[in-house]
Amino acid sequence: MTKPTSHGGAQRVASALLEQIERGALKPGDQLPTIAALAEKYGVNKNTVSKAVVTLKASGVLSGLAGGNTWVRVPPPHKKRSNERYHVEKASVLLPESQRSIAGVSEVDSGIPLDALHEDKAEYAVIEAPDDVREDLGLPVGASVLRRVYTRRHAKRAGVDRSVSYIPYDLVSGNPDLLDSTKEPWPGGTMHQLHTIGVELDRIVDRVTASMPTPDEVRDFDIPPSVPVIRIRKISYSTDGDPVELMDIPIPADRIELSYTTHLERW
């Protein structure tokens, strides 16, 4: 029997794998058999199977880096991020803790409560401010910042969500609770944390850009090939006009909808 051409064979293998996924024989997070095992099962060479796997990775069906394990991709939750979220967050600052702790804006974005997450981690460190962060926060050379790295994963083997926050160290050093990562998740988030040291936010500026992901982002965020990353640099200003927090929020473009509402002054 003549073996199918590489192109036709790859399409046949991809269709067969996709059919197994659609009927639930292969579930999100399940590891695929080796390339050699799949080649034997479908009667094709290993290069043909590799082409099929690459095709399914490109369409976001499979995950895994070249040369490593491959598994059925765990679909990322779709997020809707609106600038009106900041009004909600500020309104919650003056609520009692019992109400502030019910749900934050990030849970509203994804629809996933904190207690349902597979991973929810906050890492704190006091470091010298990177030059770009120092400039945006208006700090002198050599100034220190509290860096907070937030990592969340909604399910096993899913890609992570990660953001990095920077706050001038001198601003928060007087409140030990604000330097303690074990206090996370903080009811009411950063706005309430700043409220504890007498800082009220007046405005927030989101700078939105896009670029291709780094190799680490491809791996950690589980980004299909050719998908760019939306990068939000969020800078919060106090009522005194001072920048008091900077947060970098990278979000793969295949899982985010940005919504900006502008209220216009009436005539």
- At 102, phi and psi to the nearest 5? -65, -50
**According to CATH, where is 3.40.1410.10 located in the chain?**
79-259
pLDDT of residue 114: 76
User: In the prediction, which pLDDT does 55 show?
Assistant: 94
pLDDT at 111: 67
* Range 6-72 has CATH code 1.10.150.120: no
- Angle between the 6-22 and 35-42 helix axes, to the nearest 10 degrees? 100
What pLDDT score does 113 carry?
77
Question: Which residues, 6+ apart, have CB-to-CB distance to 2 below 8 Å?
Answer: none
Residues of the chain with CATH 1.10.10.10: 6-72
Rounded CA-CA distance 267/259 in Å is: 25
- Residue type at position 143: A
Q: Which residues of the chain have pLDDT under 50?
A: 1-5
The conformation of residue 25, written as its DSSP 8-state character, comes to S
pTM more than 0.95? no
**Given this model, what pLDDT does residue 97 score?**
87
Q: Residues 79-259: name the CATH superfamily.
A: Chorismate lyase-like (3.40.1410.10)
Q: Could you tell me if residue 234 is left (phi over 0), alpha (psi between -120 and 50 degrees) or otherwise beta?
A: beta
The whole-number pLDDT of residue 1 equals 35
